[in-house]
Structures are given as C-alpha cells and as structure tokens.
Amino acid sequence: MTNASTASTASATATTLPERSRTAADRAGTGTPGTGERRTGRPPQRERQGAAWVFLSPWVLGASVLTLLPMAVSLYLSFTDYNLFDPPSWIGLRNYVQMFTEDPRMLRSVGNTLLYVVIAVPLQLALALGTAVALKSMKRGRNFYRSAFYAPSLLGASMSVALVWRAIFNDGGTVDNLLSGVGVHIGGWVNHPGWALLAVALLTVWQFGAPMVIFLAGLQQIPRDMYEAASVDGAGRWRKFISITLPMLSPVLFFNLVLQTIQSFQVFTPAFAVSSGRGGPADSTLFYTLYLYERGFTASHMGYASAMAWVLLVAIALVTAVLFRTSRSWVFYANEGDR
C-alpha cells in the first residue's frame, strides 16, 4: 500500500512534525546567528546554509521521494479512474461525488470508524490515566509495572498479535471458554456482527501503555505542595484528583487525546487480521481504511481509493482542528496564571 496510505499516514505526522522540523531548520539554517558572526575565520552564512542542506539531504530526499511525491501522485490519481493495468483516465470529481452519493458501504465504514473511535479512545485514555495514577503512588516495583504495561504498545500494532487476538476471541478461544464457564454463551466474538468491533477496540485499549507513560511523566510534574495544601484544607482523594490532578494534567490529556484520536481513525491491522481482510462479519468491522484498501487492492479502483485517502486526511485535520478549538475551554496551562 503505497499511494493510498501515505496520504493518511502523512496526516499523522503533519500534526506532530511542524514543531520539530521548524526547530531543525532554525538550528541548521539561521540557527547560530550570534556565535557565527562574532568568531572570525568561519565561512559566510550562505556557505553554511549550503552545508546545512547537504546534511539535510538524506531527509529531504527521503521525504520528497517517499512521501511528497507519492502524495502528489495519489492526489492526481484521486481525480482519475485507475485500475492498475490501464493508464489512469481523468474523470474530475466523480470519485468524490460517488463516495458521498452512491456508496452506502463507504458511509457504513464511516459509521464503523466513528463508533470505534468513540469506544476505543475514551476507554484507552481512562485506563491509561487510572493506571498512571495507581503507579505513581506505588512505592516499590513501579519501574517493573511501567515496563510491563508499556510492552503491549510495542507489540500491539503487529500482525502476529492481531492474529493471536483473533484466536483468543474465536469460537473455543480463551474468552469463549471463560465466558462459557460462567454461563455466558456468546461464542466467538470475532464471528458476531455485534461483538467483533468490540474485540478490535479492546486490542487498541490493551495498548494503553504509551499514553500511560506520558500521563505518568505529567503526574510527576504536578507540584507536591498543591496536594499538601489541599490535605490541610481537608480534601479527600477524589476531591484532589478532580481539583488538582485533572486540571494540572489537562495539557497532557489533550496531547494524548489528539494523538490517540488520529491513530484510531487510521486503524487498519487489527481489523484486517480479525476479519480476514474483509471487514466482516457482515461489514461490522469494515473500517474506513479497510474499505479503502479493499477498493484499491481487491477491486482495483486505485483512483477511488486515493480519493478516499484524501477525504480521510481532510477529515482527520478537521477533527483535530475541532479538538484544538474545544481545548481552549478545558485545557489549563500552568503558566497562564503568570500572564
């Protein structure tokens, strides 16, 4: 999957990268304005800029050949009818129009994806936050548990774990046996239209380690005297969590929320593995990316798949923009008080 997916993966980097690339450019190009001029014998600025480009060239080459170029091609293909075999033929906006007017499965895939995001992201963040708070107050073994909970985040995106997941939630799998043991007979979750999506969502929730580590770091930044003052005022645990931890942690919470939302919109591997690549049973795990893949690689409509990728990019950008907008009313930055 080259063209189709680059657009969507690029969107994830688009929101996180600008900061980094700007500082990189500062450092490389105009980065050392003071020091350079004071010292003598250093080459003039223009020449140093040239050197910067030479050093940047591997990245620039990689980014343009492997990311920007495919993105441009994918944008072009999205306006064409292209079946991989014959040269693409220009059809204007027809792919985009068709997507919203005559493709019920595309709308179903949007519904599935939204449902998944709404289930998986809050559950995952709640679990991550809960575990982080519990770990913070631990006296011994914190490092061990931190690593143990983080491990799934390293493994979770792989195909093999998704396949294991499928086996666990299949007929006669662990979950089926455990539930049958207490008298609940659902059978394999992955074969039921009502349960399959939940099985996939749980795989994402299980990877709560990455946001947990970030929460843990955030928790350690909260000044201890705040809690002490609250204790003096007679605040209980819950009160402290609501009035101190949550507001002080809100920037970190926001960061995690944006990151996980973007990732969840692009979920692919678990759904692909759990449903044998078809989004089944009965289209219940047909996520947007899975449908995109199917249109492109099974049905050979690469133009349509490219158009879908660009719609996803715009949709994720919009959702992120909305999140940023709402953040003004609930994210609290500690230095705001100084201003």
Q: Which positions lie near other proteins, rule CB under 8 A?
A: 47, 51, 54-55, 57-58, 61, 84-86, 171, 187-188, 191-193, 276-278, 280-283, 294, 297-300, 302
- In whole angstroms, what is the distance from residue 326 CA to residue 283 CA? 33
- In whole angstroms, what is the distance from residue 151 CA to residue 190 CA? 24
Give the tokens for residue 72: 């441009």
For 30, 53, 55, 59, the CA distances from 45, given in Å and listed in that order, are 8, 13, 15, 22
The residue to which tokens 């959702």 are assigned: 319
CB of 70 to other proteins, least distance (A): 13
CB of 63 to other proteins, least distance (A): 13
By beta-carbon proximity to other proteins, the closer residue of 9 and 191 is: 191
Closest CA to 292 of 312, 273, 274: 312
Radius of gyration of the chain, Cα coordinates, nearest whole angstrom = 24
By beta-carbon proximity to other proteins, the closer residue of 93 and 299 is: 299
By beta-carbon proximity to other proteins, the closer residue of 54 and 232 is: 54
CB of 87 to other proteins, least distance (A): 10
Q: Give 242's DSSP letter.
A: I
Range list of β-strands (E), 45-137: 80-81, 89-90
- In whole angstroms, what is the distance from residue 167 CA to residue 32 CA? 56
- In whole angstroms, what is the distance from residue 96 CA to residue 100 CA? 7
Name every residue whose Cβ is closer than 8 Å to that of residue 194 and which is 6 or more positions away in sequence. 284
By beta-carbon proximity to other proteins, the closer residue of 70 and 209 is: 70
- In whole angstroms, what is the distance from residue 240 CA to residue 225 CA? 12
CB of 313 to other proteins, least distance (A): 22
CB of 157 to other proteins, least distance (A): 19
By beta-carbon proximity to other proteins, the closer residue of 61 and 217 is: 61
CB of 251 to other proteins, least distance (A): 31
By beta-carbon proximity to other proteins, the closer residue of 130 and 193 is: 193
